[in-house]
Structure 1
């Protein structure tokens, strides 16, 4: 299962909608969507039992999805509380869900001012693209509909003047022509047909033969655009999801040994020296081993409180080092947020999130 893509126009925005799967088995796919998002719609099932199951700390996915969004730098979230028809458009039910989810989102460091709460019913078309017509909802809710909430999302600043940087989320190959198109979101720079590019970590160089933005042919694309770039002069077998497209004069770093600053998440199993984890950065996933527990950190100041701890447990902040089985394209968080945000997973659960603080060159 992959991330579904759709496009529509609101009054202020051309919107690219990435519909990520919600099941726990597809969290890596959800991560792929979160890496490209400027904002998010967190859909909550309001029905009795379903919300409680989804919000359960051990089995539900709502908490993990929220953590993933925040970990990848998403700040603006529309919380769409769906299936309100099943609970009779109850304001009490809406307020209860808002209280529980809101408290958790605050613990994830989302700001109240960046959260928009929308009660709706997709089945009965209530509060989706227009104000609700059902008096059971309109009698107590006078806020924006979902479409208006999307329209109010603020566009982030784009790094158009910086060198090209595009993490590749998919590679589409043409078996008949032996060509490949690299798909993803331009994190920095701009491209047009004829632009020179490099694929990392292979180092293959070529040019852009043609490009599409939001599935439409175009002559230029800039930072923030979702594109498919048809590559010329590059071995199609050397391009895959998790690679990074960059300017030949500004190649991204490739590494197997990293120092990370992480927060161990609630409910996670302890992280030990030698722990085998799944390392996620942009669209890359790699097997990782914890090779050093450097220090525990004060969660507020980031200053070391204990050197060389024996293990890391839930809610602890720490510095650690990981060794990756294969090289990945990565930068320190201070150099590139897109290539410096990381997640660590184990046994189908996200156990820690954080950022790359140092790339270690092994002798």
Structure 2
């Protein structure tokens, strides 16, 4: 972590001469961590200091003459009454160099499922650490469980950039000592867990120190402020190098006189991997038919090739049986599987036990899935793999699943969409688990 800021600056300099790059795209990031670490206040500070809040909105969060920054994101009445974040709140703001989409994720353990939802589409995660909750005078201090859990989940969900923001250092006697000890503990944890960390930054969300404007030398830190770091982080690269894969979300039918599709159906969805262009051969999964792409349309119906991460409408040169939930795939590139091994983040109140059946959603395709065996559960404190008969709420473990029908999956580390499923309880229809396919 010590050279993280230099690495970011070097990357920015290397790409600046090549026109548009990942640093120019809007950055989706989440704030996460333990309860009352100051996540909502940090976002409020970013919005206020970057002048992204209207005066009437700012006046609405005044309490006893002071501005309660957390209320800028805690929009639900239950959140305001209890003083906690329950659901993910998204806010938008921009600087002169970049646009941002922020997700404020809950810190309570019972709302871990909300954090997983927000992290699944994030380019970066800012994990807040409350210095006042830790034994900061102790060089061997222990981190809070939610700090570890959220960091691990962000890592498992392939969030590309992780930044630790050590908050409330204005409230401790020796900010430099506290930051040094906490940063060392974070670095040791990240190394043990195999997590790549961009930087650790000391901040005071309440005072605004090192959030938007850098405060050189404070807490013994000489690097850029948090917003300066975020401006240089890359957006999540699409899985453009993986074989072409396209989950069909909607089938649009036209009359025979239509000039757009020449009477053929258009299959709409978002390209999950690779790219699609006219003349390309595709295989329909699970039907098995092969056809050639006759036309590709973008979201405003302009013809042209479309790459991973973007929506497209595809017309085939001949009529084949394709429905919502089917996939169009690169021929011969996939070996559909009925047995998969996966890392599972369990989100339901009812534990995952071997033998129980669930609905599994892959793209837009639903199949029945049964938990064949629980291989182990991850101890978030020691990072040890423990034997387990079940996965309880918010647990993370390795599980073998048996599918009623095969799915065209790839390991999650190779393709984010193709390697991800969700499990849904067949009775309650609650989202029960996030599934990340392993090699």
In the alignment, structure 1 residue 273 sits paired with structure 2 residue 283: no
**Aligned position for 1:144:** 224
Instruction: State the secondary structure of the residue aligned to 1:181.
Output: strand
In the alignment, structure 1 residue 258 sits paired with structure 2 residue 342: no
**Aligned position for 1:182:** 269
- How far the C-alpha of 1:258 sits from its partner, in A, is 1.0
Residues 294-322 of structure 1, C-alpha deviation per residue, up to 9 Å, x if partnerless?
x779x9xxxxxxxxx8836799976x542
**Aligned position for 1:191:** 276
Distance, in Å, in 2 between the alignment partners of 1:167 and 1:31 is 21
Distance, in Å, in 2 between the alignment partners of 1:286 and 1:216 is 32
Distance, in Å, in 2 between the alignment partners of 1:260 and 1:229 is 31
**Aligned position for 2:402:** 323
- How far the C-alpha of 1:182 sits from its partner, in A, is 1.4
Q: TM-score under structure 2 normalisation?
A: 0.49
In the alignment, structure 1 residue 41 sits paired with structure 2 residue 125: yes
- How far the C-alpha of 1:79 sits from its partner, in A, is 2.8
Residues 216-264 of structure 1, C-alpha deviation per residue, up to 9 Å, x if partnerless?
9784444xx5311123358999335xx64433x2464444x31416589
- Matched-pair contact (CA < 8 Å) for 1:194–1:209: no
Distance, in Å, in 1 between the alignment partners of 2:286 and 2:120 is 19
21-30 or 270-279: bigger deviation? 270-279
Q: How does 1:64-79 map to 2 (within 5 A)?
A: 64-74=149-159, 76-79=161-164
- Matched-pair contact (CA < 8 Å) for 2:357–2:368: yes
- How far the C-alpha of 1:336 sits from its partner, in A, is 6.0
Question: Cα RMSD (Å) of the superposition?
Answer: 5.7
- How far the C-alpha of 1:344 sits from its partner, in A, is 7.0
Distance, in Å, in 2 between the alignment partners of 1:197 and 1:182 is 15
Instruction: State the secondary structure of the residue aligned to 2:220.
Output: coil
- How far the C-alpha of 1:159 sits from its partner, in A, is 7.0
Q: TM-score under structure 1 normalisation?
A: 0.56
Query: 305, 311, 315: which one pairs with 2:389?
Result: 311
- Matched-pair contact (CA < 8 Å) for 1:85–1:124: no
Query: 244, 264, 267: which one pairs with 1:164?
Result: 244
In the alignment, structure 1 residue 289 sits paired with structure 2 residue 375: no
Residues 267-287 of structure 1, C-alpha deviation per residue, up to 9 Å, x if partnerless?
x99764314467576787765
Instruction: State the secondary structure of the residue aligned to 2:214.
Output: coil
Distance, in Å, in 1 between the alignment partners of 2:157 and 2:421 is 8
Give 5+ residue unaligned stretches, structure 1: 1-8, 50-54, 300-308, 358-363
- Matched-pair contact (CA < 8 Å) for 1:208–1:229: no
CA separation of 1:237 and 1:258: change in aligned 2, threshold 3 A:
same
Q: How does 1:39-118 map to 2 (within 5 A)?
A: 39-44=123-128, 46=130, 57=145, 60=146, 62-74=147-159, 76-81=161-166, 84=168, 87=171, 91=175, 94=179, 98=183, 101-111=186-196, 114-118=197-201
Instruction: State the secondary structure of the residue aligned to 1:339.
Output: coil
**Aligned position for 2:48:** none
Distance, in Å, in 2 between the alignment partners of 1:147 and 1:217 is 37
- Matched-pair contact (CA < 8 Å) for 2:354–2:371: yes
Aligned length: 310
| Higher gyration radius (CA) | 2
- Matched-pair contact (CA < 8 Å) for 1:200–1:251: no
**Aligned position for 1:229:** 312
**Aligned position for 2:214:** 132
- Matched-pair contact (CA < 8 Å) for 1:209–1:232: yes
- Matched-pair contact (CA < 8 Å) for 2:125–2:159: no
- How far the C-alpha of 1:143 sits from its partner, in A, is 1.1
Q: Higher helix share goes to which structure?
A: 2
- How far the C-alpha of 1:187 sits from its partner, in A, is 3.2
- Matched-pair contact (CA < 8 Å) for 2:266–2:315: yes
Q: Higher strand share goes to which structure?
A: 1
Give 5+ residue unaligned stretches, structure 2: 1-11, 31-87, 89-104, 134-142, 256-264, 380-386
- Matched-pair contact (CA < 8 Å) for 1:260–1:356: yes
